[in-house]
Every structure is written in C-alpha cells, then in structure tokens.
Structure 1
Amino acid sequence: MSKVCSHMTMSLDGFIADPQDGAGELFGWYSAGEVTVPSGDARWSFELDENSAEMIREMLANTGALVCGRRLFDLTNGWDDSHPVGAPVVVVTHRPPEDTGQWKSTTFAADVAAGITEAKGIAGDKNVTIASASIAQQALDLGLLDEVHISLVPVVLGAGIPYFAQLTRSPHRFDDPVVIQGSRVTHLKYAVRPR
C-alpha cells in the first residue's frame, strides 16, 4: 500500500537549512561512504556507507512522486525537470510559473491537499515523498502524512529553517522509530499515529 512520507535531513536542533537556505553542513553524509548509489538523474550520485546506501536505494525504488513547495522549486531551478529521486514532481504554489508548459515531469497544484491528491494519482502503488518543510507541516496538520523520515546529522545550526514549526493542530504523535545508523547520520522513520 502506498504511503505519503516526508523526508528531510535535519540538524540536532531541528533545522533543515541555515537562515540563508544553506544545507552544506547537513548534506555531508551523502558523500561519507564508499558505496556509490546513482540517483534518478545521471548527473548525480551518492557516496554512502552501506546502511545509508540501503535506505536511499529503498527510497528511490519506492518513490512514485515528489511534492515540494514553490520556494524549493525556485531554489533548485526545478532540478532542471529531473529530480534526483527519479520521479515526477508536484509543486504546491499559488503562483505557478508562466512557463508551466515547458515542464514535462513537473506539475503544479494550488494547495497541499490538491498536490498530494495529484501526486498519489501519479505515484500509483508507490509512495509520495514530501521534500519541503512547509508542505510537510501542512500535510501533518491536515492528517495527510503517514510517515516522517528524518536523516539526523550531528551538527547544531543554532538558527535556520525548522522541519516542523507553526503547526496548527499539535501535538502530533508518532510510533517508535525505525533506526538506521549511518556514517555522519542517523536515519529515523516514524509512523504518524492517526488522530
């Protein structure tokens, strides 16, 4: 059965980027090993420890669509219409770009619920992965998130963009985590408890 998951790399103090959207301090684990895992885009690959490599292979194989917000889409130039996860992207935005026709693997939705519905239709039996903090927050509040995945890195940023903040329906509760120890990272997977 397909799931809606969020996955972010996070600092020990809960941030997924520094105040200037930098993530360099967080992404070192993507090159902290000797196992090469190709991404869904031939331009990139990961150099991971064996445990992280297994986790990434599983995520890549099981993701049928990715959901993000307009801010991340703009920061990455839409991954040039080829996200490393190798799946189509649904961008949640109230301001779709004027050139929406040029995006072959990217669609645009007006709100989180519509974006997740669109992504589920695209993903079929595979999972939908949310890759934006704001979208994950809204999906959690709406009861649309099945699992929260955190790649926790041993760094404290002190300030930045939090994974979860400004929740309107908290507290949210989770089951005990599945824990995968990696090099320079600990991967945590939590099932979201229904309200």
Structure 2
Amino acid sequence: MTLVYTHLSASVDGYVSGRGARAGLGLGNGFRIFDWLSDHSSANRAVKEYGGSRAAAVVAGRNTYEHADRWGGNSMDAGTRLFVVSRDPIPDAAEGQTIVTDGLESAVRQAREVAEAAGKDVKIAAGATATEAIRLGLLDEILISQVPVLLGGGHPFFRELPEAVELECTSVAVNQGVTHLTYRIVK
C-alpha cells in the first residue's frame, strides 16, 4: 500500500530551517539540524538508508523548491520524480521536474500513480505543504528527526491547523544528537 508521508529534521522548538532561509541559503542558520546525516551510527544510518529508498515521488511547494535552488535540476531524493506545486507555471524547470498548477491534491494524485507503479511511497518535502496535506486528509505518516537544539526562529515544521490532529507513535529510534520519531495520523 502506497503511503504519503513527510520526513523533516527539526529543532526541539519545531523549526525545519533557521532564520534567513532563502534561495542560496535554503536552511538559513539551521544547518545544525542535518548534522545527523553525516553520523554513520546504526540508528542514523538505518533511518537515512530507509528514507533514501522509500519514496518514488516527492511533492514540494514552490517556496521549498526555490529555497533549495531547485535541487540543481534534480529531485530532493536521488531516483525520485519531483512534483512542484505552484500557482504559476515555471517554464525553465528542469526536465523530470513536474510543475503542478492545479493544486496539491492533483500533485499528490500524480505522485501516487508514480509511487504505486514502483511499489513505493510519496514524500511531502516541506512543512507548509505537509500542513496543507493534513488539512486535505492526504497525509498518512509523519517522521521527525528531532535534533537537540533550539533555533529560536525560522520556518516551523507545521503551520496552524483548524483543529487538533491525533497521532499514534509507531516507532522511536534514539541516538546521540537526534531522536527519530514516526507517527501515523489517526483518521
């Protein structure tokens, strides 16, 4: 069964990027939250390897796409198709980057078709896009790699929701410098 999930590293105070995030400086002063990716201990390596092979398609919003310098013409994760949700066309998008101008539901539907054909999942690549996916009932799972730092500002993982969302914790992997949490959204 193909799942739609999000996985981001976040500070304890809930930020997925620091202050000053913009094109060319995608995470602002928040690079510390990704230090665990270069740690090759077993828990971190397992999370990284699973994350790198799990998705066949990635859905990102236009802001994340631009802040990440359009992933250099590729996708966020190697070997995945990228679907970018944008109000406007992006005529100079790279080949293999699908620009979706008719909304997140359409982007997730297209990404799900790709993922189902490959027997894999769909990754939502940004907090604001993940929040909208929750609002629309499209998100199944949330993975947070929580790093013990307080960034004090930046872009939060989630935006305001119209009501509380119940979660079920399905796994916890603790390692020095990061705690990997997996939650299923209770629907």
TM-score, with structure 1 as normaliser? 0.85
Unaligned segments of structure 2, at least 5 residues: 22-27
Give % identity: 29
**Distance in structure 2 (CA, Å) of the matches to 1:94 and 1:84:** 20
Aligned residues of 2:58 and 2:76 also touching (Cα < 8 A): no
In structure 1, the residue matched to 2:132 is: 138
In structure 1, the residue matched to 2:64 is: 72
| Within-5 A mapping of 1:10-25 | 10-21=10-21, 22=28, 23-25=30-32
In structure 2, the residue matched to 1:191 is: 184
**Distance in structure 1 (CA, Å) of the matches to 2:99 and 2:159:** 24
Q: Which residue identity is paired with 1:92?
A: V
Q: Which residue identity is paired with 1:85?
A: D
In structure 2, the residue matched to 1:174 is: 167
Pair 1:2 & 2:2 matched: yes
In structure 2, the residue matched to 1:63 is: 55
In structure 2, the residue matched to 1:112 is: 104
**Distance in structure 2 (CA, Å) of the matches to 1:149 and 1:80:** 25
In structure 1, the residue matched to 2:74 is: 82
Unaligned segments of structure 1, at least 5 residues: 34-47
Aligned residues of 1:67 and 1:90 also touching (Cα < 8 A): yes
Aligned residues of 2:17 and 2:156 also touching (Cα < 8 A): yes
In the comparison of the two structures, how many residue pairs are matched?
Answer: 176
Aligned residues of 1:49 and 1:183 also touching (Cα < 8 A): no
Q: Which whole-Å deviations, capped at 9, do the CAs of 1:40-81 have from their partners, x for residues lacking one?
A: xxxxxxxx3211111111122121101111111112222122
In structure 2, the residue matched to 1:99 is: 92
Q: Which residue identity is paired with 2:97?
A: T
**Once the 2 structures are TM-superposed, how far is the Cα of residue 96 of structure 1 from its aligned partner?**
2.4
**Distance in structure 1 (CA, Å) of the matches to 2:91 and 2:64:** 17
Q: Which residue identity is paired with 1:188?
A: L
